[in-house]
Chains A and B, each alone.
Chain A
Amino acid sequence: MKKIPSCGLLILLSLTLLGCSKDLYNYRRYEDNMYAFARNGQTEKDERSLLSSYKTLVNKQKRGRKTPPPGTCAEYGKLLYRKGNLKEARKQFEREMQLYPESKTLVLKIMKDLEP
């Protein structure tokens, strides 16, 4: 009979520990998408799955800092530019620069190259 409360305590403890995971960002399956994109020669299907993963990474961050992980906005912007969505791409680049000022030199360089 004494085992039941101790088990409950253990479960509670594990749940609280799980709830307090200290990761700054939630990357989901970013590595898989990146790997497939790099390995399969940037096919359309992989690009699509990478775009959808970036969308969730950029917009649905509930863990740690609650901001998109470093570099994701810029990468998302570049993929959007490839698809022809210039307005959204610029928005994402600016967001990256706003969130991470370290990216300014590279992002400005890329924006300069992308401009018609």
Chain B
Amino acid sequence: MKKRYFQLGLGILLLLMACSSLKDQTKNILNQAETSDKQNAEDLPAKLRQEQQSIPADSSNSVSNNPLQSPKTQSAENIDTTLPQFPKEFLAIQDMEKTLRDLEYTLTDHDTPLTKNERKSLKQQKKEVEKKLSETKKAFKKKQQDKKKEMERRQKIEDGDTLSFWEKQFPKKTDRHITFPRIYKEKPRSILISHPWNRSDCTFAEDLFYASLQKPLALRGYYIIPPLLMNEFFTDTLLHTHHGKNQDLKHCKTDFGADAVLFVTIYRVEHEWWSSATKMNAEYLLRSTITNDTLFFRKIDYIYDTPLPPRRYKKDKNGPEISEEEQNLLNVCIAMQTAAFNDFPFGPYHPKHTKDSTSFSHRPFMRYNINTRPE
């Protein structure tokens, strides 16, 4: 037994020895590489060195001519080039670095000997410049970071995701006149609902939306251009969301008397057979026909998952013929429209018209989930 333990110990020792020798070898290789670099640098002829020293002066001139030149070639040390650049500050840093280099050169230059006092004053000067440089670099970095944050925030707004996690969980109260200032300024009276753009897999989604969009807006006190009358004009493709979304809308004012046009893009309408949830996703965009400005924007992700029916009504024998599946989808669609416009400013036919400017509203550019799944 003792012999075996001895053999095992020996084996482990040998292994450790081999590992340590490998480490040493790699270290040696790295050191050799470093020393060769240094030697190369030292071997440079005096002429070349002079050229190198004359480069900063030239480069600074070139920078002053072209301040937006790529910072990698001008390179001040430790500056992240992926961040936004400020040419003025960058040039100041470069000037300081240049003076530092000059000072260092004069201090180390053995061809022109310096007196003790001169050396002392130069060293003091160098220290001051170094201090100033570190301060300006810090300020520059901070400015860059702030600018980057601002840019990210703007990008978020453009993407439609403005709220942080905390704000999403506990939304702040935002007044309607702040979120929809253009509606309060323009005060549209009539709204035309354009033909929805169906980008979902559901083939009849546009009919669902078109039939259910009139009511929530009319109940908010607006005049809605009658959809049944508009049916014949839908041969004009500019009245379809797909084509007319970004076009000039002044013809809608002259032809139909609409003050604003509502564009609807449907992204998802589905109810899988294995799930009890109905999922819908759509985007609403209301644009003025007078100024072509966006008055209202909302992207809504609606999930209806509850045993309670979304809508109650009396069943009628002489009523319309709709299959059960379509009826369920229509009911959820109606619930979704009321949710989407529940903070829409009241129109001229509502007694609260212009009196609701300080009422609660969701933010104009936001995505929110309404999940009615019971806990």
Binding partners A and B: yes
The residues of A with any CB-CB pair to B shorter than 8 Å are 23-25, 27-40, 45-46, 48-50, 52, 65, 69-72, 74-75, 78-79, 100, 102-107, 109-110
- B320 in contact with A35 (CB, 8 Å): yes
Asked whether B86 is an interface residue with its Cβ less than 8 Å from the other chain, the reply is no
Question: Lowest 9 A-B CB distances belong to which pairs?
Answer: A36-B320, A71-B226, A105-B257, A35-B211, A102-B190, A34-B211, A75-B228, A102-B223, A70-B223
Give the contacts of B311-339 with A (CB-CB under 8 A). 313, 316, 318-322, 326-327, 330, 334
Q: How far is the CA of A105 from the CA of B225 in the complex (A)?
A: 11
Asked whether B13 is an interface residue with its Cβ less than 8 Å from the other chain, the reply is no
From the candidates A27, A52, A65, A74, name the one contacting B226 in the complex (CB within 8 A): A74
- A29 in contact with B349 (CB, 8 Å): no
- A71 in contact with B322 (CB, 8 Å): no
Q: How far is the CA of A110 from the CA of B225 in the complex (A)?
A: 13
Q: How far is the CA of A52 from the CA of B126 in the complex (A)?
A: 94
- A24 in contact with B322 (CB, 8 Å): no
Q: How far is the CA of A69 from the CA of B222 in the complex (A)?
A: 10
- A23 in contact with B321 (CB, 8 Å): no
User: Given the complex, which residues of B lie within 8 Å of A107, measured CB to CB?
Assistant: 229
Taking the nearest CB of chain B, how far is it from the CB of A79, in angstroms?
A: 8
Taking the nearest CB of chain B, how far is it from the CB of A42, in angstroms?
A: 9
Q: Given A24-B350, A39-B207, A70-B222, check contact A31 B330 (CB 8 Å).
A: yes
Asked whether B212 is an interface residue with its Cβ less than 8 Å from the other chain, the reply is yes
Closest to A54 in B: B228
Q: How far is the CA of A40 from the CA of B318 in the complex (A)?
A: 16
Q: Given A30-B215, A78-B229, A106-B257, check contact A71 B224 (CB 8 Å).
A: yes
User: Given the complex, which residues of A lie within 8 Å of B320, measured CB to CB?
Assistant: 29, 32-33, 35-37, 46, 49-50
From the candidates B218, B257, B259, B326, name the one contacting A39 in the complex (CB within 8 A): B326
User: Given the complex, which residues of A lie within 8 Å of B221, measured CB to CB?
Assistant: 24
With A39-B204, A46-B320, A106-B229 given, name 13 new contacts (CB 8 A): A24-B219, A25-B218, A34-B211, A34-B227, A35-B322, A35-B326, A38-B207, A38-B211, A65-B349, A71-B225, A72-B226, A78-B228, A109-B255
- 29 interchain pairs (CB within 8 A)? A23-B219, A24-B218, A24-B221, A24-B349, A29-B320, A31-B334, A32-B320, A33-B319, A34-B210, A34-B227, A34-B228, A35-B211, A35-B320, A36-B322, A39-B207, A39-B322, A45-B321, A46-B321, A49-B319, A52-B318, A69-B218, A70-B218, A70-B226, A75-B228, A102-B190, A102-B257, A102-B259, A106-B225, A106-B226
- B226 in contact with A38 (CB, 8 Å): no
Asked whether B105 is an interface residue with its Cβ less than 8 Å from the other chain, the reply is no
Taking the nearest CB of chain A, how far is it from the CB of B222, in angstroms?
A: 7
Specify which of B212, B227, B313, B320 lies most central, judged by the most chain A CB atoms within 10 Å of its CB: B320
Closest to B253 in A: A105
From the candidates B208, B222, B313, name the one contacting A35 in the complex (CB within 8 A): B208
Closest to A104 in B: B257
Taking the nearest CB of chain A, how far is it from the CB of B343, in angstroms?
A: 15
Taking the nearest CB of chain B, how far is it from the CB of A113, in angstroms?
A: 9
User: Given the complex, which residues of B lie within 8 Å of A46, measured CB to CB?
Assistant: 320-321
From the candidates A40, A50, A65, A100, name the one contacting B223 in the complex (CB within 8 A): A100
User: Given the complex, which residues of B lie within 8 Å of A40, measured CB to CB?
Assistant: 321
User: Given the complex, which residues of A lie within 8 Å of B322, measured CB to CB?
Assistant: 32, 35-36, 39
Closest to A34 in B: B211
- A29 in contact with B215 (CB, 8 Å): no
Taking the nearest CB of chain A, how far is it from the CB of B4, in angstroms?
A: 85
Q: How far is the CA of A85 from the CA of B227 in the complex (A)?
A: 21
Asked whether B94 is an interface residue with its Cβ less than 8 Å from the other chain, the reply is no
Q: How far is the CA of A49 from the CA of B259 in the complex (A)?
A: 32
User: Given the complex, which residues of A lie within 8 Å of B212, measured CB to CB?
Assistant: 31, 35
